Structure 1
Amino acid sequence: MAENRLQQASSAANTADTITPVEDANHQAHIVNSRADKAAQFIAEHGEVTFNYEEERKVIRRIDIRILPLILGAYFFQQLDKSSLSYVSIFGIMDDAHLKSIEYSWLGSILYIAQLIFQPLAAFLLVKLPTGKVIGTAVVCWGACAAIMASCTNFKSLLALRFLLGSFEAMIAPSLLAVTQMWWRRSEQTLRASYWNAMNGLTFIVGSLVTYGLGHITSDKIYRYQTIFIFCGACTVIFGVIFLIFMPDSPMEAKYLNERERIIAVERLRANQMGVASRQWRWDHVRETFTDFKTLLWFILIVAISIASGGISTFGNLILKDFGYTNFNAILFSMPTGAIQIVMIIGSAWVATKIGRKGIVITGISCLPTIGTVLMLTVPRNEKNKGVLLLGYYLVQCLGAITPMVYAWSAQNTGGDTKKKTSSAMMFMGMCTGNIIGPLLYNTKDAPLYRPGLIANLVMFVTVGVLGILIPMYLTVLNRWHAKKREELGKQANVVDESMVRRKDMEDSKAVEIEQNEQAATNIEDDNGLNDLPDLKNEDFIYVC
């Protein structure tokens, strides 16, 4: 029996790594591959446990109470500091810092150039180093950069600080995606990812209110944009210190949970077939990432939506102002865009979770900004049409729900620790690429119509809608391929994807409960889910359409 397990573990790892016997709390020996996920070693050391829905719900509640506020805050301050340039755009930064129109565009793009450059390093650090420490350090560093930016009074100094800001912010989005994968099951990830992405909308509201208030402060010694930079940066540094104190690095290292709760927190993730944290860099995972066709499709999708998002986020307040609003009114009318994004991001995530389909939801969302862009392109700019133009602008803001959906969709369909991190890096490199291109398609010389930028946006929205239909077709093909492979290996071809089913629903369904018991009988050393396998090499991996 032990010999069979040894062969299975060795085959699952697809490598000649050493096999280590580990004794659990009940003195039962388990065979763990040296390249297995840290979660596999943790379960082998502490023993496998059974638990019911009520126990799991209590653990989830404790995770939500501790982890969610921290990652929500991290993303909020990242968006606040990043968007501060847009907030100060109408408070004379171009005159005070002697900026030309194309220089302002480059200040918007340089942040994403820095993020693009540092994404590979971010992926490597997230695999090798404790996640909580990496995020907290990055928050403190970019907050300091945002505050120091207040000392910049010309293009070169602003460009340098924006580059540093983007370098540290390169860590945040992929790390929060990694945290989401590390703490929640696949059925829970879409909503959790939507919560921290919705902070982008909250930033619009809070940032607009803060800017509105601070913008009224006038002084002969300090420009108004400098006051805003100092406030945003100082708040971020304070939060970064709090994050470092309270954020655990993984479920296995969460000291605020007792031992059984930690075991449950890890055990429930086995069904994801994605692993938790290996702390080992795998070059075979990297190669699979760059040869994975579905990853390429998501990369194109994220580039397309980011081109549209980058231009609108940088020039949004200027576009509103050119509808005929004053500086302060433009800020006030930008506030509802935050509420729109919060409702759209969380609402669309709820719908996608309910129907179990993300592609069709993305296509549906893309229709709204398409209509809004057409309105902004065709309705004449005059006093009479201000309301219609504002409606078009608000419809375009619905695009904010697409990016988090793509992040979650890609993350849920990627297995293996290194591949998860490198795939996330690719997604965020695509986001950076789009956000670099987006602002450059707009120019203050094109005011008030901004036709080149808006036409480019329209093309991108249509592209997103088409990809939202095509990608699920390819995922269906992959699922059929894995089902055939399972059958060839003597496994059941059609299996229940436990990661997408609530334990309560499983316990309420006798048929599913039988299936659950069969799958639960799998020993930790035989479980592909914690053997750090990339999804294409794991026949038990089920893709989510």
Structure 2
Amino acid sequence: MSQHEEISPSKAQQEERVESIHAEEAGRVSEAKHIDRGPKQDQAVQLIEDAGYSTTLTPENNKRVLRAIDLRLLPILLSIYFLQQLDKSTLAYASVFGLVETAHLHGDMYSWLGSVVYLAQLVVQPLVSYLLVKVPMGKFMAVSVLLWGISLSCMTAANSFAGLLVCRLFLGLCEAGIAPAFIAVTQMWYRRLEQPVRLGSWYAMNGVVNMVGSLITYGLGHIHSSVFEPYQIIFLFFGLITIGVAVAVLLFMPDSPTTAKFLNEEDKLVAIERLRMNQQGIESHEWKWDHVKESCLDLKSWLWFALLLAISIPSGGISTFGPLIVKSFGFNPLNTILLNVPFGAVQLIATMGGAWLATHWKRKGPVLALLCLPPIAGCVMLLQIAHDAAHRGPLLVGYYLVSVYPGITPLIYSWSAANTGGETKKKVTTGILIVGQCVGNVIGPTLYTTEEAPLYRRGLISSLALFIALFCLIWLNMGYLLILNRKHEHRRVAAGKDAKVVDHSMNKVTTANPDKADVPVEHVTQDNAFMDLTDWKNEDFVYVY
């Protein structure tokens, strides 16, 4: 990894220096040591070469561009993920308002309505990985949102298990690319230090959904219609809103930092320079089979898979059966919906608190291990405390402790995102971990059945075992990342570089030492940052544990 400091001279010196750099680099660009990448090189390389210079990153321009990026991207990402989680949660809300009885769901039928979404996502992940490399990101997301909004709206007319199953199948197919796309967007726009909070912010919509969604559903449940059942109103209302949001995504979601219309040419260069220290590249539309092979052979890929599998099995069960578990404590349907509001608040606090702590510590593994402890305690409480009216309070406390688990998934996302290099390898690795998540969410609801109410012992025991397994896997993964860092240190020494390097991608952009203000700007072809190398092949890559 490059060892140059990030520079911030005084404003007057900075302006004079930037002008001289631009002139000098424009004159030298044809003489620079270029690597023949062909027409399918990283788009960041093309933009810098077209400009004729690589800009200097300073605290001022970094803050300005980061703010512009946040203001454009985060409202879109948060809105999409809020709707995605809300749309999937409509099944749980509808179950409280008579869906199970009206559609004559029995046995494991309701469980399969929860699982089929993730089964569809599992099957289509290889195609999603390919499309995320080949298709512009903004267009991909807009089409995905539109199609799942249509699928949800169609559930209004489904009054049988078969009809609901088909609609849920198409809902899963259309939503399959959202989480992988969001991870790719985070890698494409943010430094590794910034990624946990950004990933956590959109994933925290899970908690917001449980608060706001529960309140909206509470209101919709009071609507009396001679045409629609309450659960049909829920499906139609949220489906039409999703279709409307798809239009906004098409109009305002940029495809990449190199083509973003809301950034001027200089700010595009700053956006690229912000990501140089990530050593992960930005965007390339070339599908590389050697990256695919490496991703499949990389132990990390399967550790991410195992981590997502271990958290998603309990997540899939609890998210589908959560309202029914609360209802089993002896509450009526409307109170059950309202009692999901604190559940969402705990999720929100756990997700953003975990992201903040990971940013503060610059370590994700220890934070993940810490987040496993409350769900373990909550499962024990739900299994040991008698399910009767006298123990409603302690049962709710146990349920809310379990609800800390959503803070784990986004940190696994960002852990994987920060430790993978190479455009195709990033997408394939993300696909592998999403497959683990989908498998877990398929299995999870099947461990709970309506016949086991009110105790749901099989589901809760399996959740407890998996939270403990997850705790152990986290420490195993940390050890493996430390081994990989040692290997890269040996490779740097063999290449004549320093063994230890400062990972600036995990540091804030601060004012540099004035004595080092004459360090020249790094030219795009003088390091590995935008050469589309995988993390294995790039000896400058530093793994974050």
Shorter-chain TM-score bucket reads over 0.9
CA deviation digits over 1:159-203, x for unaligned, max 9?
Answer: 011000000100100001100111110110111100000011111
3-state DSSP of counterpart to 2:96: coil
Match of 2:466 among 446, 451, 460: 460
The whole-number CA distance in structure 2 between the counterparts of 1:509 and 1:120 is 47
Pair 1:236 & 2:266 matched: no
Instruction: Note if contact 1:24-1:44 (Cα within 8 Å) is conserved in structure 2.
Output: no
The whole-number CA distance in structure 1 between the counterparts of 2:211 and 2:522 is 49
Specify the code of the residue in structure 2 equivalent to 1:478.
L
Assess, with a 3 A threshold, how the Cα gap between structure 1 residues 297 and 260 changes in structure 2: closer, same or farther: same
CA deviation digits over 1:23-71, x for unaligned, max 9?
Answer: 9855721524225311112112212111311111001010011111111
After TM superposition, the structure 1 stretch with the greater mean CA deviation from structure 2, 129-138 or 464-473, is: 464-473
> Where does structure 1 differ by over 6 angstroms across 4 or more consecutive aligned residues?
none
Match of 2:390 among 371, 378, 384: 384
The whole-number CA distance in structure 2 between the counterparts of 1:55 and 1:156 is 56
CA deviation digits over 1:397-428, x for unaligned, max 9?
Answer: 00000000100001100000111111111111
Aligned to 1:68: 74
Instruction: Note if contact 1:43-1:267 (Cα within 8 Å) is conserved in structure 2.
Output: no
Pair 1:526 & 2:531 matched: no
Q: Which stretches in structure 2 are left out of the alignment for 5+ residues?
A: 1-23
CA deviation digits over 1:459-512, x for unaligned, max 9?
Answer: 0100111122221111111001001101101112111111111111xx2567xx
Aligned to 2:456: 450
Match of 2:118 among 112, 115, 124: 112
Pair 1:96 & 2:99 matched: no
- Written as runs of structure 1 = structure 2, the 5 A alignment for 1:507-518 is 507-508=511-512
CA deviation digits over 1:338-388, x for unaligned, max 9?
Answer: 111111101111111111111111111100000000000000011111000
Specify the code of the residue in structure 1 equivalent to 2:44.
A
Match of 1:297 among 300, 303, 326: 303
Instruction: Note if contact 2:54-2:521 (Cα within 8 Å) is conserved in structure 1.
Output: no
3-state DSSP of counterpart to 1:484: helix
CA deviation digits over 1:204-237, x for unaligned, max 9?
Answer: 1121111111111223322111100000100111
Aligned to 2:29: 28
Aligned to 2:46: 41
Pair 1:541 & 2:514 matched: no
How far residue 157 of structure 1 moved from its aligned partner, in angstroms, is 1.0
After TM superposition, the structure 1 stretch with the greater mean CA deviation from structure 2, 452-461 or 91-100, is: 91-100
How far residue 146 of structure 1 moved from its aligned partner, in angstroms, is 0.5
Aligned to 2:188: 182
Instruction: Note if contact 1:205-1:338 (Cα within 8 Å) is conserved in structure 2.
Output: yes
Per the normalisation by structure 2, the TM-score is: 0.93
Pair 1:401 & 2:402 matched: no
Match of 2:139 among 133, 137, 148: 133
Instruction: Note if contact 2:82-2:206 (Cα within 8 Å) is conserved in structure 1.
Output: yes
Specify the code of the residue in structure 1 equivalent to 2:154.
I
After TM superposition, the structure 1 stretch with the greater mean CA deviation from structure 2, 34-43 or 225-234, is: 34-43
The whole-number CA distance in structure 2 between the counterparts of 1:169 and 1:188 is 25
Instruction: Note if contact 1:484-1:493 (Cα within 8 Å) is conserved in structure 2.
Output: yes
The whole-number CA distance in structure 2 between the counterparts of 1:298 and 1:210 is 35
Task: Please provide the CA RMSD for this pair.
Answer: 1.5
Assess, with a 3 A threshold, how the Cα gap between structure 1 residues 285 and 517 changes in structure 2: closer, same or farther: farther
The whole-number CA distance in structure 2 between the counterparts of 1:428 and 1:289 is 14
Assess, with a 3 A threshold, how the Cα gap between structure 1 residues 408 and 219 changes in structure 2: closer, same or farther: same
Match of 2:337 among 324, 331, 337: 331
Pair 1:262 & 2:263 matched: no
Identity %: 47
Instruction: Note if contact 2:57-2:274 (Cα within 8 Å) is conserved in structure 1.
Output: no
Aligned to 1:164: 170
The whole-number CA distance in structure 2 between the counterparts of 1:335 and 1:310 is 19
The whole-number CA distance in structure 1 between the counterparts of 2:120 and 2:533 is 31
Instruction: Note if contact 1:187-1:499 (Cα within 8 Å) is conserved in structure 2.
Output: yes
Aligned to 1:492: 498
Specify the code of the residue in structure 1 equivalent to 2:185.
V
3-state DSSP of counterpart to 2:286: coil
Aligned to 1:363: 369
Pair 1:150 & 2:151 matched: no
Assess, with a 3 A threshold, how the Cα gap between structure 1 residues 196 and 264 changes in structure 2: closer, same or farther: same
Instruction: Note if contact 2:54-2:522 (Cα within 8 Å) is conserved in structure 1.
Output: no
The whole-number CA distance in structure 2 between the counterparts of 1:528 and 1:53 is 23
3-state DSSP of counterpart to 1:345: helix
Aligned to 1:318: 324
Assess, with a 3 A threshold, how the Cα gap between structure 1 residues 40 and 152 changes in structure 2: closer, same or farther: same
How far residue 517 of structure 1 moved from its aligned partner, in angstroms, is 7.7
The whole-number CA distance in structure 2 between the counterparts of 1:44 and 1:186 is 25
The whole-number CA distance in structure 2 between the counterparts of 1:529 and 1:426 is 24
How far residue 101 of structure 1 moved from its aligned partner, in angstroms, is 3.2
Aligned to 1:85: 91
How far residue 268 of structure 1 moved from its aligned partner, in angstroms, is 1.4
Higher relative contact order (CA 8 A, sep 6+): 2
The whole-number CA distance in structure 2 between the counterparts of 1:482 and 1:509 is 28
Aligned to 2:7: none
Instruction: Note if contact 2:133-2:287 (Cα within 8 Å) is conserved in structure 1.
Output: yes
The whole-number CA distance in structure 2 between the counterparts of 1:122 and 1:58 is 33
Instruction: Note if contact 1:96-1:223 (Cα within 8 Å) is conserved in structure 2.
Output: no
Specify the code of the residue in structure 2 equivalent to 1:158.
L
Aligned to 2:288: 282
CA deviation digits over 1:70-113, x for unaligned, max 9?
Answer: 11111111111111101111111011112123111100000000
Aligned to 2:17: none
Instruction: Note if contact 2:312-2:437 (Cα within 8 Å) is conserved in structure 1.
Output: yes
